[in-house]
Amino acid sequence: NAGVTQTPKFQVLKTGQSMTLQCAQDMNHEYMSWYRQDPGMGLRLIHYSVGAGITDQGEVPNGYNVSRSTTEDFPLRLLSAAPSQTSVYFCASSYRGQGEAFFGQGTRLTVV
């Protein structure tokens, strides 16, 4: 099993560009989520999904969109990149109601 796979691992964007961060899991987990990690801030929840077709906002959703058309995939879209979105992004999945989340390796995004 691959677990949670994130692509790309690194990305540099110019201000105003859009892009999609990919996340896929092969554990049949209902719950998937996106976090950003910034120094001194820990992991902050951007968006999450409790199943295919259901998404909701987390703590810091502005500037990001998500969709969940299948159980396996949960892409994160940056609509118009800003320097404030420079961060490390983690996708995670878990069984619903479980505290054991499985994380991907992260995407390091720099917006210039």
Residues of this chain that bind another protein (CB under 8 A): 4, 31, 33, 35, 40-45, 48, 50, 58, 90, 92, 96-97, 99-101, 103-106
Collapsing DSSP to helix, strand or coil, 99 comes out as coil
CB of 80 to another protein, least distance (A): 26
Cα distance between residue 84 and residue 18, in whole Å? 14
Nearest to another protein of 14, 28 (CB atom): 28
Rg, Å, the chain Cα set: 13
Name 36's bridge partners: 44, 89
Measured from the CB atom, the residue of 81 and 90 that comes closer to another protein is: 90
Query: CB-wise, 15 or 110, nearer to another protein?
Result: 110
- Minimum CB distance to another protein, residue 104 (Å): 6
Q: Which of 88, 69, 100 lies closest to 9, judged by CA?
A: 88
Amino acid of residue 85? Q
